[in-house]
A and B are shown apart, each in its own frame.
Chain A
Amino acid sequence: MPSYLPSQADLIQRARQGSDEAFSRLVNDHQQAVRGFVRRLCALPDDADDLAQDAFVTAWANLHKLIDGVSFRTFVCGIAYRKALNDRRRFNRSGARDTEWQGLTPQSHTSTVDSRLTVQAALAQLPIEQRAAVSLCVAGDYSHSEAAEILGLPLGTVKSHIQKGREKLNALLGVSS
């Protein structure tokens, strides 16, 4: 094992050449950021960890697609976000089928503005795009351009999602802006 600390570019290069040790170091270095982001997107921490693991495995299989200049963290978070979107769509489709089958009408979302919510419950009230944008740029230390790269959205749209998400969170948490 080398005595110096290899840079991210070195680790990516070695991982691309098939080094499992380099890839496991990348996972170790970036897992907290990716898991934190995914946990804010998913309702349950266990589901979030499964999704984060799948995102890392997909990143391993697609390392050749990682463009120079894009950080590994951004790359994995982008994959995780797309997986979360797909999960959400699948969940919505199966939910709609179940509702139709049972002959039930979908329950309307009750307003929770009056009650003080936990942060996680308040985040769950936001649309996934706003939740992701707020998680990255307000809860995390990502720049707006990094968030745009991860979410695959124009910069202006990301800023708009952050603004709307922040306003809605303020209202849901019952704190005046």
Chain B
Amino acid sequence: MSAHNPYLEDFSRGIIRENPVFRLLLGMCPVLGVTGYFMNGLGMGLASTAVLIASNVVIAALKNFIPPQVRIPCFIVIIATFVTIIEMVLQAFQPVLYEALGVFVPLIVVNCVILGRAEAFASKRPVLRSLVDGIGVGIGFTLALGILALVREVAGQGTVMGPDPESTIMLFGEGFEPMGLFGQPPGAFIALGLLLGLTNVIFKKLNIK
């Protein structure tokens, strides 16, 4: 493994060392808002990843044509366009997920992870590196959403793959009483706080800075 390969570095940075959720605390609204069920968290993560990759590539490709004074509005319009596309795609092909995510789908447009990558990375780097960066950060974001959603669903409902009754798998037997708190809003804050503490411990043990 060559340590100086910039693509590998761009790819891995967003997943672990600069994970947008666990390390930088960006884009917290969907992280807390849609993670009651694993499938919703995963769907939200993938939808945000798609927007992130597309906007990163387009912004990197157009960076020489966008006047620096009005770059933020330009970035926002590009991101908003992709969010609209994703919203239509979800509405057409994944109506259950679309309903479950609700207003958080259009709110991808104000997810600071996406605008942050556009401003800090894609507007200064070539297209290919921006693509790799988008994939890496997207995986990091999806991973964080998935882990939090899994914890909350198992503790709060005692199931995985819900809420669709066809795919729901009950994890525990008849006598199980789920810990309702984790399905409710306070549980989202508490679960994420505890997960942050856990990542701090792991990072300290592994000496990653």
Q: Is B a genuine binding partner of A? A: no
Q: Which residues of B contact A (CB under 8 A)?
A: none
